[in-house]
Amino acid sequence: MELKFTPRAAHDLKRLRTFIAKHNPTAAKRISKNLKESILLLLDNPELGVESDELPGVRDYFPRSYFVRYIVKNDVVIILRVWHGKELQDG
């Protein structure tokens, strides 16, 4: 299995880390590392996430308080988006 990030997902990771770093740079580094490690689990467990009801072929994975939306195509896990659960609450 191979792991790829769409440009939008890569931007999401940067955006999340930057936001956290404004308040706590040490926490930003730790959280970013933990999130990336959680995403790497998808390489050995591509069906770890649940299938989306609205988007066929798309899966959602929920490490800690984060949402990772991805697809698996030809032995490649493609990360589509990453966001924090609180972002859904805030609109």
What backbone torsions phi and psi does residue 50 show, to the nearest 5 degrees? Answer: -100, 145
Which CATH number do you get for residue 62? 3.30.2310.20
| Long-range pairs for 65-68: beta carbons < 8 A, 24 or more residues apart | 66/16, 66/35, 66/38, 68/38, 68/39, 68/42
Give the rounded percent of residues in the chain with a pLDDT score beyond 70.
93
Domain extent for 18 = 2-89
Amino acid found at 7: P
pLDDT tens digits along 41-76: 999 999 999 999 889 999 999 998 899 999 999 999
Mean pLDDT of all residues belonging to the chain: 91
Report the pLDDT averaged over residues 2-26: 95
- Overall domain count for the chain: 1
